[in-house]
Amino acid sequence: MKQSIARIALVVEDYDKAINFYTNKLDFLLVEDTDLGDGKRWVIVAPQGSRDCSLVLSKADDEKQLASVGNQTGGRVFLFLYTDDFWRDYYKMMERKIKFVRSPEKMPYGMVAVFEDLYGNMWDLLQPIENLKQQQQQQQ
């Protein structure tokens, strides 16, 4: 049996503001933006190079959903953005005024820092340890 997680729904306040943040601040690709009528859209964004998982930007349409915008996990890190070059992406995100809530730190699993998206959801920017080791070997 083969299964995988293909999409993760992310509740947002506004489609266009969310698209702008993910495509212009994080360099994600807008994979799809289809009008479904009645103000609903099927909006998919994904990191460049991502093959397995993407985000479905889902506009909140009631008070309960609005209350979860920016806090879908009760204040814990929600999503993990893997990178092949931590410092390149970290400095680019800093230049673009992405708010980091935890400074870069080398952990047993890799180089990591925690940032917030436009609504306050927390993300790990993470370069896995295997990739860090390969990068260091290539630089020597």
User: pLDDT tens for residues 73-128?
Assistant: 998 999 999 999 999 999 999 999 999 999 999 999 999 999 999 999 999 999 99
| CA separation for the pair 44, 53 (Å, rounded) | 10
**What DSSP string describes 73-131?**
TTTSEEEEEE-S-HHHHHHHHHHTTPPEEEEEEEETTEEEEEEE-TT--EEEEEEEHHH
Cβ–Cβ under 8 Å, residues 28 and 44: no
Residue-wise pLDDT for 42-78, tens only, equals 999 999 988 889 999 999 999 999 999 999 999 899 9
What pLDDT, on a 0 to 100 scale, did the predictor assign at position 51?
83
Tell how far CA 39 is from the center of its chain.
Answer: 24
Q: Let me know the angle formed at the C-alpha of 92 by 89 and 94, rounded to the nearest 5 degrees.
A: 110
**pLDDT at residue 133 in the model:** 67
pLDDT at 138: 74
42 Cβ partners below 8 Å, 6+ apart? 32, 33, 34, 36, 56
Domains and CATH numbers, the chain: 1-69 (3.10.180.10), 72-140 (3.10.180.10)
